């Protein structure tokens, strides 16, 4: 009973003392890594090349990056703060993502560094197994956290770039063009999701206002598939345009889309549809009172 009580009181060594000893071990570790900086760094760079990681970069570049990653790594181990490393990882990702470096390569090199350093620790403490164990206890969590930080930083940067590009593509993919006084065309290409449908409608409504458009031709030749959601978005766009006093003509419904719409029973009776873009523009011109004639019919013959 007495033993049990004693166990409950101090199942582990005093946490304060333990963290102190961890700190002391980490200090020792950092000193070791600083001392062997040149040799370990070279070993690491060699192993990166051998594993055929970072093939997009030259050997000198790999060595230069390896040096700064190494120093940041050791610094993170020493201070236990990851902000500097995080910033460095973001900065590094920003530089290497445009060169086509993949996620597995970044994770790979950080794991390689972890292994290289662990090996050097084995070599240094192989005579004192208890000490080695304690050193690894201190080293492993920190090293794993570093690997995690760098990998997450890389992926986040990648996602940020992808988001940015998506935004750019969206902006680019919805031009509203004026073909004649008071006649706009809106060619839609690609997939329409609710967000894009909303953006399309807003852009179109603004354009109707600024160009004082009376007729709008929406061409959906480039829309591959349509479901009831997309069709409803289209109906809403047409309705909203009408509220601003503009007539909408939809052109370029493919046979497949026409069949789908009829099969799923979407009501497009409110919508003016014309087979192709040319027909749509001709219809729009008729509504606006234009008539296109060959030159010789207009100009008196010489």
Smallest gap from residue 206 Cβ to other proteins (A): 6
Cβ-based nearer residue to other proteins, 128 or 239: 239
User: Rounded distance, CA 213 to CA 210, Å?
Assistant: 8
251 closest CA partner among 209, 222, 280, 291: 280
User: Rounded distance, CA 156 to CA 173, Å?
Assistant: 25
C-alpha distances (whole Å) from 240 to each of 7, 221, 243 are: 75, 22, 5
Three-class SS of residue 280?
helix
Interface pick for other proteins out of 34, 119, 209, 286 (rule CB under 8 A)? 209
Interface pick for other proteins out of 135, 208, 217, 271 (rule CB under 8 A)? 208
Contacts with other proteins by CB under 8 A: the residue count is 19
Cβ-based nearer residue to other proteins, 93 or 237: 237
Smallest gap from residue 232 Cβ to other proteins (A): 10
Q: Which two tokens stand for residue 110?
A: 């950080």
User: Rounded distance, CA 13 to CA 144, Å?
Assistant: 24
Smallest gap from residue 237 Cβ to other proteins (A): 8
Cβ-based nearer residue to other proteins, 27 or 206: 206
Cβ-based nearer residue to other proteins, 89 or 205: 205
User: By CB under 8 A, is residue 176 in contact with other proteins?
Assistant: no
Smallest gap from residue 246 Cβ to other proteins (A): 7
DSSP string covering 248-271: EEEE---HHHHHHHHHHT---TTS
For residue 180, give the H/E element and its range.
Answer: strand 177-180
Smallest gap from residue 160 Cβ to other proteins (A): 30
- The stretch among 11-19, 109-117, 153-161, 200-208 that binds other proteins (CB under 8 A) is 200-208
- The stretch among 64-72, 84-92, 232-240, 276-284 that binds other proteins (CB under 8 A) is 232-240
Smallest gap from residue 137 Cβ to other proteins (A): 59
User: Rounded distance, CA 43 to CA 302, Å?
Assistant: 88
Interface pick for other proteins out of 171, 212, 262, 286 (rule CB under 8 A)? 212
End-to-end Cα separation, the chain, in angstroms: 124
210 contacts: CB under 8 Å, gap ≥ 6: none
User: By CB under 8 A, is residue 241 in contact with other proteins?
Assistant: yes
Give me the residues that bind other proteins (CB under 8 A), please.
198, 201-202, 205-206, 208-209, 212, 214, 236-237, 239-246
């Amino acid at each position: 009973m007495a033993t049990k009580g004693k166990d409950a009181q101090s199942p582990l060594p005093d946490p304060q003392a333990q963290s102190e000893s961890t700190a002391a071990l980490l200090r020792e570790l950092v000193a070791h890594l600083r001392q062997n900086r040149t040799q370990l760094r070279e070993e690491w760079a060699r192993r990166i090349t051998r594993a055929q990681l970072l093939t997009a970069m030259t050997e000198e570049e790999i060595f230069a990056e390896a040096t700064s990653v190494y120093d940041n790594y050791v610094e993170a181990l020493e201070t236990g703060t990851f902000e500097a490393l995080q910033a460095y990882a973001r900065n590094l990702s920003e530089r290497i993502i445009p060169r086509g470096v993949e996620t597995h390569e970044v994770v790979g090199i950080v794991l390689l560094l972890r292994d290289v350093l662990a090996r050097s620790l084995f070599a240094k403490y192989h005579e004192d197994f208890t000490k080695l164990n304690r050193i690894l206890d201190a080293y492993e969590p920190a090293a794993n956290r570093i690997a995690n930080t760098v990998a997450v930083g890389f992926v986040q940067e990648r996602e940020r770039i992808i988001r940015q590009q998506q935004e750019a593509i969206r902006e680019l993919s919805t031009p509203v063009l004026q073909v004649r006084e008071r006649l706009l065309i809106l060619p839609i290409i690609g997939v329409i999701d609710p967000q894009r449908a909303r953006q399309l409608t807003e852009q179109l409504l603004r354009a109707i206002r600024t160009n004082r458009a009376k007729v709008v031709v929406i061409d959906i030749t480039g829309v591959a598939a349509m479901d009831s959601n997309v069709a409803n978005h289209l109906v809403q766009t047409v309705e909203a345009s009408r509220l601003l006093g503009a007539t909408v003509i939809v052109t370029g419904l493919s046979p497949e889309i026409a069949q789908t719409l009829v099969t799923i029973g979407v009501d497009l009776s409110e919508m003016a549809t014309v087979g192709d873009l040319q027909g749509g523009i001709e219809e729009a011109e008729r509504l606006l009172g234009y008539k296109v004639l060959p030159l010789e019919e207009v100009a008196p013959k010489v």
